[in-house]
Amino acid sequence: MILTDPEWQAVLLSLKVFSLAVLFSLPFGIFFAWLLVRCTFPGKALLDSVLHLPLVLPPVVVGYLLLVSMGRRGFIGERLYDWFGITFAFSWRGAVLAAAVMSFPLMVRAIRLALEGLMSNWNRPQEHWGPGAGAFSLLSRYR
């Protein structure tokens, strides 16, 4: 199957958008997932709800909010354009931002479930061999 030049450009743009969206949202996803798993603080349920808002809001609403805030006349987009010359609306940068925002809750949820599984398995050596049987002492026993 041979693609035409515009089709290759669309494929390369899609690869660029998804890879940059993952690159920019992954550190934040890891941080918030770790925060939700390891820490107990007031407002934890509220933070979890806010992080999942892009999943429950209609995509048109999320897109409109991004356009209003990051457009050239938006409260964030105007400053970015004035200070750095960066525009998000109707550009590949906007597509990266939209993909990152829409995939962020899914990323946080997947990382959170993985961390919860790790944390539940991490305490098992202490249950079996007693206190002080952390990962290092277990690994040093079986060299």
Q: What tens digit of pLDDT does each residue of 40-70 get?
A: 999 999 999 999 999 999 999 999 999 999 9
Q: What is the CATH number of the domain that holds 42?
A: 1.10.3720.10
Whether 4 is in a domain gets the answer no
In this predicted model, what pLDDT tens digit does every residue of 121-143 receive, in sequence order?
665 555 555 555 555 554 555 55
Report the domain count for the chain.
1
Q: How far apart are the first and last CA of the chain?
A: 53
93 in a domain, yes or no? Answer: yes
- Give domain status of residue 10, yes or no: no
User: Does residue 59 fall inside a structural domain?
Assistant: yes
> What is the span of the domain harbouring residue 92?
20-117
Report the distance separating Cα 22 and Cα 138, nearest Å: 35
Please tell me the chain's helix, strand, coil percentages from 3-state DSSP, rounded to the nearest 5: 75, 0, 25
Question: Considering the domain boundaries, does residue 96 fall inside one?
Answer: yes
CA 95, CA 20: separation in Å to the nearest integer? 10
Residue 5 lies inside a defined structural domain of this protein: no
Which comes out higher in pLDDT, residue 1 or 79?
A: 79
With a cut of 80, say whether residue 106 has pLDDT above it.
yes
State mean pLDDT over 8-35: 96
If pLDDT is split at 50, 70 and 90, which confidence band does 118 have? Answer: confident
